[in-house]
């Protein structure tokens, strides 16, 4: 199991340089071949970036059918603890929230964000997690 960062979804949605790598990994999550978590916080961030209600609805409808994806909702107490944890390891709140949950769940983070490399949580890029690194 993995905790999936928003940048993996955004890489695919905006067909950035490594979108195919993200697609292969996310397709494995969609089919249930790979199990992954995503923070509702990250989904909200992606939705804000997509902005247009019809795009957000399509995105949410799509990921709601993914067999290997579980959405994690956080409460205020958990977010306050994550903020304290983030400050302690030198991360911003967004990364700190991902770090907090990765530690809590005992999973690696799938992300292109190298800021996680300075922590004690393992970070994999999508190709590494899918076993398809080019």
CA dihedral sign, ordered 28, 31, 36, 37: positive
Q: Is 70 in contact with 36 (CB distance < 8 Å)?
A: yes
Buried b (16+ CB within 10 A) or exposed e, 4-26: bbbbbbbbbbeeeebbebbbbbb
Residue 121 reports pLDDT greater than 60: yes
85: Cβ–Cβ under 8 A, 6 or more apart, which residues?
96, 99, 100, 103
Distance CA 56, CA 90 (A): 32
Strand, coil or helix: what is 118? helix
pLDDT in tens, 52-107: 999 999 999 999 999 999 999 999 999 999 999 999 999 999 999 999 999 999 99
Longest CA span, the chain? 41
127: Cβ–Cβ under 8 A, 6 or more apart, which residues?
18, 21, 24, 25, 133, 134
* pLDDT for res 134: 43
CATH number at residue 36: 3.40.50.1010
* pLDDT for res 129: 92
Distance CA 82, CA 13 (A): 28
pTM of the model: 0.94
Task: Provide the angle, in degrees to the nearest 10, between the axes of the packed helices 19-31 and 6-13.
Answer: 110
pLDDT in tens, 104-120: 999 999 999 999 999 99
Place of tokens 């996310």: 26
The number of distinct structural domains making up the chain is 1
The whole-number average pLDDT for the span 14-42 is 96
Domain assignment of residue 9, given as a range: 2-130
């Amino acid at each position: 199991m993995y905790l999936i960062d928003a940048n993996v979804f955004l890489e695919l949605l905006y067909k950035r340089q490594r979108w195919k790598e993200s697609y292969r990994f996310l397709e494995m999550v969609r089919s249930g071949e790979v199990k992954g978590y995503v923070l509702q916080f990250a989904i909200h961030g992606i939705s804000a970036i997509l902005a247009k209600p019809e795009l957000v609805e399509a995105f949410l409808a799509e990921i709601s059918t993914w067999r290997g994806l579980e959405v994690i909702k956080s409460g205020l107490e958990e977010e306050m603890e994550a903020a304290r944890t983030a400050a302690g390891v030198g991360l911003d709140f967004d990364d700190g929230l991902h770090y907090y949950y990765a530690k809590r769940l005992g999973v690696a983070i799938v992300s292109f964000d190298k800021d996680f490399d300075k922590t004690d949580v393992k970070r994999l890029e999508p190709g590494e997690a899918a076993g398809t690194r080019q």
